[in-house]
Structures are given as C-alpha cells and as structure tokens.
Chains A and B, each alone.
Chain A
Amino acid sequence: MRLFEGLARLDRRWIFAVTGLLVLIPLLWPLNLPLSSSPPVRAYHAAIAAVPDGSHVLVSCDFDPAAKPELEPMARSTLRQLLAKRCKVVVVVLYQGGARLVGQIVREVAAERHAVYGTDIVDLGYKAGNEAVMVLMGQSLPNTFPRDQDGLDVRTLPIMRGVRNYSSFPLLVSLSTGYPGTKEYVQQVQGRFHIPIVAGVTAVTAPTMYPYLQTGQLRGLLGGMAGAAEYERLLDERGPASRGMDAQSLAHVFVALCIVLGNLAQWGRRRGDGA
C-alpha cells in the first residue's frame, strides 16, 4: 500500500527523466529490434513499384520541421524508390514552412542517386492557397507553378516537357502532416481527377486515413515513424526511421506502463481512503 501511495505522489519530473533516457539510450546503442511490414505499407510500396519505369510522378511534400522525424524518412525513401525506377519526380509543397526542408531533401537525394536537377527531378516549391492550388494543378501544373524553388521558368526545364496536369501522372504521392494534406487531396483531387494516390502521414493522422484506404481512394499508407521504418525495410534500407523505432518501442512500452501504474496508484489511494 505504501508503494501505491508513493506512486501517487511521484514527481512528474521522474517520468520526464525516464522518458528521456528510454528515448536516448536506444538512439546511442541501437537494439536492432526486428521489423515486419503491415498491409497498408506493403500496398504503398507495391503502388510505387507498379508505376511504369520512366514515367512522371507527382510528390506533394506538405510538412514542416515539426513532423521531420516521421515524414522526412518517408520522403527520402519514396524519392529513392522513384529515382531507382528512373521516374521523373515533380515535387510540390502546399504546407507553409516546409519549402526549405523539402528543398534540402530533394537536393540531397538527387545528389545521392546522381539524378540531374531539372531533368530527373524538380522542386516547384511552396504555393499558398491550399485546396484551390490542388484544383488548379488539375487545370495546368505549369500555370500553377510557373517557377521552381530557385526561380527558374518551369517551361524551360526538360522534366516539365509534356507535363500538363494530373493526367500526366500515373501516381500522386502525398506526404502530409495536417491541413492541407492527404485528406484534401482525396476530397478535391482523387474524386475529380481520378488520379491514384498513396500517402504518408504522421502517426496522429494515420487512423483518420483508414476510411480512404478501405475504399481504395488511397492505394497505400505509411503511418508515422512505424510506417516509414516498415517501408525502409521493404526497400532494404536501415534509415533514420528504422533506427528511431527502437526508441519509439521503449517509449510506447513506458507510456503503457504509466497507464497501469497511474491506475494502480489511484486504486491504492482509494483503498487507503476507504480503510
């Protein structure tokens, strides 16, 4: 009983300290826990694998540094898989605060895969307007994004030859953290322009995407860092998401333990009060 009373009075700084350690230790000394892959992740991988080699693919990276640990690994792995298939990757950003981060990812992956900027991959940068921009891209992508992130006229770039609107892309990849993001692409673009969509979203958002996944409006889904790690496994990569999963594993177990201990403490206190 004294143990429960002690638990009830536990200073929350102890919880913060244990959480910090449980996240930090596996990052420094990885546990290399085995990863499996769930059906939505396998469907995401398969949808990209099914895109004809060399075709154009539109990737909408709608996230900022807050979602970096979850969505950056997804973006990097997706770009790698697409470039390995010699796909022409057109990247856009509709989320404020994300353009610089996405630009860095595009440049780094392009350099790593020896992709030529403007020929194999292009970053069209950020455009304000949320759903209106999504619909406008369905009319004309070069009109919606007349210049790329560096201010170059997109009509002069070899990659944009033959790109008109969504009909130029066999697949849209939406990596998003909130509004505007995957939900808006499904509502505004998928229903109207009938383009197949796969999505990568934060763990918090992932459950809200399951209705779209079940109806086939999304062909595949990566949910949070777990989804990114499973995708890395399918690509035979050991990237940042896979490394982060050890830390997330211990943190999840600790949160579960906190629920149990918190309730035991409450139960002990009630019994004490009753006595």
Chain B
Amino acid sequence: MKRELPLFVTAAVGLFMILSFFVPHQVVSVPADFLQQSAVIVVAFGIVLGGANLLRLNLQSVVKRQAGWPYRLVLIAGLLATVLIGLIEGRDFQAAGTRSTWIYDEVYSPMSSAMFALLAFFIASAAFRAFRIRTVEAGLLALAAFLVMLGRVPLGNALTAALPEGLRLGPIAEWILRVPQNAANRAILIGAALGVMATGLRVILGIERSYLSGEE
C-alpha cells in the first residue's frame, strides 16, 4: 500500500491532466485548475525545502571542515542574513531604502553580473587554448562559428559592406542560423519531446518509479 497508493495517485492525476488538455468542460477544467493551483503552492514550499537542504548540506561540510569550507561559511552567512533581514522587514522588504533592496542592488546584482561577464574572458582563453581544428567536422564547426560571430556584430557587416548581398557576413550568419542550425536544433527538439512523452507515460503507467525514494 505504501508504494501502490502514490503510484495510483500519480497515474490518476497524470491521466486527468492529459484529459483536461482535450476536454474544456467545467467538470474537468475546474478540478484541473485546482490541481494546477496546488502545484504552484507545492513549488513555493519546494523553494523553502531547497533553502533548508542547502543550509543542512553546507553546515555539515563546515562542521566536517571539508575542502572549501570557508566559502560554504560565507554562503551560510549570506543566506541567513538575507532571510533574517527579509523577515525583520516584513511585507515591505521590497520598498525603496530597505536593507533587503540594498542587498539586491549592491551585492546580488553586481556579483551576478560579474559572474556572467567573466565568461567573455574564459571564452577568449578557451578559443585560444582548446578549439583545435583536427578533423573536417571541427573545421566546419570553426568556420560556422567564425561566420556567425563576425556576422552578428556591426564590425563584420562593415567589413563586407562593399560585397554583394549574398556574400555579406550578416546574411550568411542569418542563413546558418535559419537553415543548418535550425535543422539540427529541430531534430534535437523532436527527439527530446519524444523522450519526455515516453518518460511521462512510464511515470503514469508506474514503470518509472525512481521518484519514489530513489527506488528503481
């Protein structure tokens, strides 16, 4: 019963939600809306659970003095300080001039932007040290990357502005994105969609049970 009941609930809810996609009658749509609202509430709880889990794992690492524990300590301090300040400030925590908004504007926002900005440096370094053209396929990849990178920026277009339309980097980059890239992307998308459908069916039919306490 401990396993059968969750499997039955999953199958029933899964089939019902599929049904709601095709049957707009209120007998189906009202309970389906209720289930979707419940999903939003469950996700909100999930955020709290995720935070608690993060805290637990990092506290354990700090206590055991595992590698990089001082960073984990900073993480815990940041997490607790942000949550506590938010709780103290209450419902107005997002109002102008609060400590919560200061944390967002002066700590979270610049750090988040800086992390993303560092990518530019690492991409340049990786392009120099790791992008090796050893095969025909790698050569084609490098050529496509070359054309798209230059075709997507004004400098590339300015350099080829005197050439006929079909030879300019901008239209060539657009063609690469629109035709060969699109074809490969569509194949991946269709493959992934079929995989998702198959996994969904396996869950509904009770074949896939890994979500029940990691059981196979």
Contacts and interface: CB of A to CB of B under 8 A. Distances in A.
Interface string B92-117: 00100000010011001110110110
B78 to A, nearest CB: 14
A36 B44 CA distance: 44
Contact of A38 (B36, B146, B170): B170
Nearest to B142: A259
B132 A249 contact: no
Interface residues of A, number: 68
A12 interface: yes
B128 A259 contact: yes
A69 B29 CA distance: 41
A226 interface: yes
B84 interface: no
Given A12-B125, A262-B131, A263-B132, A245 B174 contact: no
A252 B152 contact: yes
B156 interface: yes
Interface of B is mostly: helix
Contact of A64 (B112, B127, B170): B112
Interface of A is mostly: helix
Interface stretch (B66-74, B176-184, B205-213): B176-184
Interface string A202-214: 0100111011001
A263 B127 CA distance: 9
B120 A210 contact: no
Given A39-B174, A211-B186, A255-B124, 10 more contacts: A16-B124, A33-B154, A100-B105, A129-B40, A130-B43, A136-B36, A210-B185, A249-B153, A258-B131, A262-B129
Interface of A: 10, 12, 15-16, 18-20, 23, 33-36, 38-39, 64-69, 96-97, 99-101, 103, 127-130, 132-133, 135-136, 139, 144, 149-151, 192, 203, 206-208, 210-211, 214, 223-224, 226, 229, 245-246, 248-256, 258-259, 261-263, 266
